[in-house]
Each structure stands twice: as structure tokens, then as C-alpha cells.
Structure 1
Amino acid sequence: MPFDTLTCPSCGSPVKQYRNPFPTVDIIIEIDNRIVLIERKNPPHGWALPGGFVDYGESLEDAARREAREETTVEIGNLRLLGCYSDPARDTRMHTISTVFMAQGSGIPHAADDAANLALFALEELPARLCFDHAKILADYAAVVRAGR
């Protein structure tokens, strides 16, 4: 069911509350032929792509730039769309739809905001356990890289 029924506090009539997926962004930040992954400070714990929720009134591209800066202190450029990931089970906390970007990072990355740790990884040396559907996203990214973009 796409909505829940609530009760109006004034008159007691049923009111529909529509439930929609939450828009998010994830960013594959490329630095020196490696990608930046963060170790999450908050549940679910583990390694993940930098990213987060899109703020109201914010474009997807601006959200990607903001999240990259907040979690890695890196500025990004050459922003390119990899794809959108919408499996309702991709995040056990809630239904999210992620728009995933690839970008070139500049600067020295440092863990910040929601990141407890940060590391650069070659595609062949990714951590065994990645959060959410990030293993699938990175497999899709590897296919794009192999195809020469």
C-alpha cells in the first residue's frame, strides 16, 4: 500500500499519508586510479561509498558535491552519472533511491562527518564487506571502467 491512514487530530476523519522513497546520492570518487571508501560511523557499520540524503531544494549534483566534501573533505569535479539504484531492500532502514555519480577528487581525503575512517582502494582490492548495495554499484562501475567509459 503506497500510503498509511492517519486520523485528523481536529475532526477525527481518516487522512492519507503518502509514503515515498527517500532520494539519496552516492559518489565514486576517483583519486590516483583508486576510489575513496568511508567506514561508516553510524549503523549500518562497514565500508561504503561516500553519500547521503538529498536536502529539500537541492539538486542531485549539488548533493553529491556537498556529501563528498562533508564526508571526505575532497572537492569533486568531472561529475558523471553511473546510474540509479532503487531496490526497496537496498537499505534496511528505509526505502531509498540512490543516484550514483562518478567524479574526480582533488585534495587529500580525510574522514569527516559520518565517516569514522577513510581509505583509498584499487578496484581489485575492495573490502569484502560493503554496506547497502555498494558491491553491486562498484561491480557496475568496474564494468564501465573496463569498457573505457
Structure 2
Amino acid sequence: MKSSITNRPRPVLAVDAVIIRKNGSIVLVKRRKPPYEGYWALPGGFVKYGETVEDAIKREVKEETGLDVEIKGLIGVYSKPNRDPRGHVVSIAYLVVEVSGDLRGSEETDIGEFNAIPDKLAFDHNDILRDGLKLAGKMGINVNVNIK
């Protein structure tokens, strides 16, 4: 008997963005809901069925920050099974730069602009952020963030 792909347990797909503003700062969101309520996090979220990951990252950034962004590069794929307490979530992280829009929070998050990495980041976002800032440096993107 053949096994159907839909019958297999599988991880959920998400996207995360390291956003570099025109002034070289980064944008983070403060979570208002569990998990990690009250922690700073990278903007991002779950990919909708039928949506590309590129469209998902642009949608999530717009919803959570009010910014329109351009994708500059793939930071990496983060897939540790325990990286999210809600279950096995695989996240595709992108380096993006601000193109236009007005920075604002959402119903689920507050917004912050930083020139240093906060101590309290949700999930494995500290790793993703550091990897993203390294990629930005290699690409010659203006980054004005103090890495501790």
C-alpha cells in the first residue's frame, strides 16, 4: 500500500525577516501573545497554502511593520525541531531592505527600531539576526547596528 504525502506528519513552514532600514537600523516586533509574550522578535509568520515564501515574507513584513521591502538575499533555513514550543516549525529567513511605507506596529505586535541587538529575543532569532547582519556586511549593505 502506497503512503500518501498528506498522511505524513510534517513541520509547518514559516518565514522571518531581518529588515535593514535606510538609516542602517534594524526593525523588530515585540510579541503580545505567547509563546514569548513580551519578547522582541524578527517580523515574520506562517506561509499560507499556495503562497510563495517570497510573497509570504513581503506580506508578513507589511502586516507587522507597515513597510514595503525588497528581498536582498536568503539568510538561511532554520529547522531545529524544538526551535518553536508550538511544534516543529521550519523557518526560511531573508535579508530585506526598506523600500517605502510608514513604520507602525500591528494588532499582535509593537514595533521597535534598533541600533543594537536587544538581549531578549524570541525563538532562535538571535542566531538569525546575527547571520543576517553578517550577510548584509558581505553584500555591502549599510548597517548601523552594534553587535555585542
Same fold per superposition (TM over 0.5) = yes
Structure 1 residue corresponding to 2:133, chosen from 101, 119, 142: 142
Aligned: 1:70 with 2:63: yes
CA contact 1:37–1:50 (8 Å) conserved in 2:
yes
Q: Deviations over 1:38-93 (max 9, x none)?
A: 00121121100000000000000000011001111111114421111001111111
Aligned: 1:109 with 2:103: yes
Alignment of 1:3-82 (within 5 A): 17-31=7-21, 32-44=23-35, 45=37, 46-82=39-75
Distance 1:69 1:147 in 2: 26
Question: Which residue identity does 1:41 align to in structure 2?
Answer: R
- In the alignment of these two chains, the number of paired residues is 131
Q: Stretches of 4+ moved more than 2 A in 1?
A: 142-149
Calculate the TM-score normalised by the size of structure 1: 0.82
Distance 2:46 2:136 in 1: 26
Question: Which residue identity does 1:140 align to in structure 2?
Answer: D
CA contact 2:94–2:132 (8 Å) conserved in 1:
no
| Higher RCO by CA contacts (8 Å cutoff, separation 6 or greater) | 2
Helix, strand or coil at the partner of 1:28: strand
CA contact 2:14–2:90 (8 Å) conserved in 1:
yes
Q: What is the RMSD computed on CA atoms of the aligned residues?
A: 1.6
CA contact 2:16–2:92 (8 Å) conserved in 1:
yes
Calculate the TM-score normalised by the size of structure 2: 0.82
In percent, how many aligned pairs have the same letter?
38
Distance 1:68 1:145 in 2: 18
Who wins on radius of gyration, i.e. which is larger?
1
Task: Point out the structure with the larger strand share.
Answer: 1
Deviates more, 1:38-47 or 1:106-115: 106-115
Distance 2:10 2:92 in 1: 16
Q: Deviations over 1:86-142 (max 9, x none)?
A: 011111111000000111112221001421x111112xx211010000001112123
Unaligned runs of 5+ in 1: 1-15
